[in-house]
Structure 1
Amino acid sequence: MNRRELAGFLRSRRERIGPAEVGLPIGPRRRTPGLRREEVAQLAFISTEYYTRLEQARAPRPSREVLAGLARALRLSDAERDHLYHLAGVPPSLPAGPSREVRQSILDLLHRLPQSAAIVISATYEVIAWNHLAAALLEDFSAVSRRDRNLMRRVFLEPHPRDQRLYSLSDVDAFARTSAQYLRATAARYPDDPEVAELVQELIAGSEEFAQLWASHDVCAKPALCKSLQHPMIGPITVNCDVLDIADRDQRLVIYTAPPGSPSEEALRLLSVVGTQRMDVPG
């Protein structure tokens, strides 16, 4: 526990919050910016004496409950909350399960990539956001249930011929290995989440291939940088695959692009125009 740094951090966060932001009257006698110590203590459900000692670097290590109350009272961001826990010498606790809420700035980014197909996947390989071109290239995710948007269920449990699994990806076996390894790491991060446990058990029971991969206990996965798939209307398309971590949400942004001037770039450009409409059905 770094008492001096913790004291300075608490004081700086307290002084930046105006009373009106937390529903308190401003009053005529405020000589210093921000909240008073007793107001923070009240909002955090702790005694004013104990909070004062924290700011004076004289208090014993606060409990998780106290830290959670302080983070709430001081309106800390996720990064500030983790910093608070580290200063107090308490490892930040992980959320109970993987987040499915996509940050608005990421949603905006998806739609600013009109020449790239992009999706956001959760820590359990559920597609939780996508743009127009991704729906045209892969499938219209809005037309399927949340359960069917899980790519691991699609690759391990759907009864397709091996060369037609998961959009007929050329590296579907590599994807299967990578996803199993990633899911094992996810299960370790969220040991108490029922949805993660249910997914693992469902895959083990329904897929001998997954059960064997799971039994290997491997967690080190190498991403594939290039993928080929067989689009039902356009034909073969080869794309570069870049994966960007969204660390604060434990999510990943997957972006598919085609080499400039290639036939695949022309194919993506065509898909961006026709979207998800069926081109094999007479108009």
Structure 2
Amino acid sequence: MRVFDRLQDTPAQIENVLGETLRQTPLAVALLGDETSYTGLSRARVFRWFTSASARERLPVEDHPHHSRTLVARLAEVFAETGRSSPAAVLVAELTARSPEFAALWAEHPVLGPYCEPKRLLHPEVGAIEVHGQTLLDPDQYQALLIFTAVPGTESHEKLRLLSVIGAQQL
């Protein structure tokens, strides 16, 4: 948390192992939307991704299959570590029942790829932004700090700087 409190000019957020966002910097809210306001199973990003069309609005359509596979692989990893009576198991059961896409991917047993690969986001005010996610794990807290950066000197870097000025407001 001490590191997080010093990142007010950087898009960053703290998540638990289920992908539930616990805290966000103001710039993360501007970039990704407020991910701390969800309740119930919707707190988990993977649940929103497979049950709500609006959860996919900030990623280009052509990136959806890869993102879906990554989310399922991460949930599978947590499920393998936490077991059949865990909150991850509840998510798996609910998603299998509600989403044919999830069920098909789950049956394939996808494996996680690189963690820090670039991700393209679609922001409603500034357009497409390519960010790199870097993750700092705190195994004692079962949490991760995600920091999103853009390559300095790129259009995406300039768009992040613009977001730091306009914040989450819609223009």
Partner Cα distance (1:239, 1:245) in 2: 19
1:276 is paired with a residue whose SS is: coil
Pick aligned residue for 1:273 from 145, 165, 171: 165
Partner Cα distance (2:166, 2:39) in 1: 23
Partner Cα distance (1:109, 1:172) in 2: 31
1:138 and 2:32 equivalent? yes
Partner Cα distance (2:57, 2:114) in 1: 19
Tell me the TM-score normalized by structure 2.
0.86
Change (3 A) 1:122 1:181: same
Partner Cα distance (1:173, 1:117) in 2: 25
**2:58: which partner in 1?**
167
Partner Cα distance (1:188, 1:142) in 2: 26
**1:261: which partner in 2?**
153
Pick aligned residue for 1:228 from 111, 116, 120: 120
Structure 2: runs of 5 or more not aligned: none
Partner Cα distance (1:232, 1:148) in 2: 22
1:118 and 2:12 equivalent? yes
Q: 1:236 is matched by which residue type in structure 2?
A: A
Which structure ranks higher in relative contact order (CA pairs < 8 Å, sequence separation ≥ 6)? 2
Change (3 A) 1:142 1:252: closer
1:129-208 aligned at under 5 Å gives the runs 129-145=23-39, 147-160=41-54, 165=56, 167-169=58-60, 171-191=63-83, 193-208=85-100
Contact 2:24 2:36 in 1 (8 A): no
Contact 1:125 1:179 in 2 (8 A): no
Partner Cα distance (1:255, 1:180) in 2: 21
Instruction: Spell out, residue by residue over 1:27-70, the C-alpha distance to the aligned partner (whole angstroms, 9 max, x if none).
Output: xxxxxxxxxxxxxxxxxxxxxxxxxxxxxxxxxxxxxxxxxxxx
Q: 1:190 is matched by which residue type in structure 2?
A: T
Change (3 A) 1:197 1:220: same
State the 1:255 CA deviation: 1.0
> Identity percentage over the alignment?
35
State the 1:142 CA deviation: 4.2
Partner Cα distance (1:220, 1:278) in 2: 35
Q: Larger Cα Rg: Structure 1 or Structure 2?
A: 1
Q: 2:20 is matched by which residue type in structure 1?
A: E
Quote the RMSD (CA, aligned, Å): 2.2
State the 1:122 CA deviation: 1.4
**2:137: which partner in 1?**
245
1:212 and 2:70 equivalent? no
Q: 1:111 is matched by which residue type in structure 2?
A: D
Instruction: Spell out, residue by residue over 1:129-177, the C-alpha distance to the aligned partner (whole angstroms, 9 max, x if none).
Output: 21111001000234443543321012111135xxx71522563322221
Change (3 A) 1:146 1:233: farther
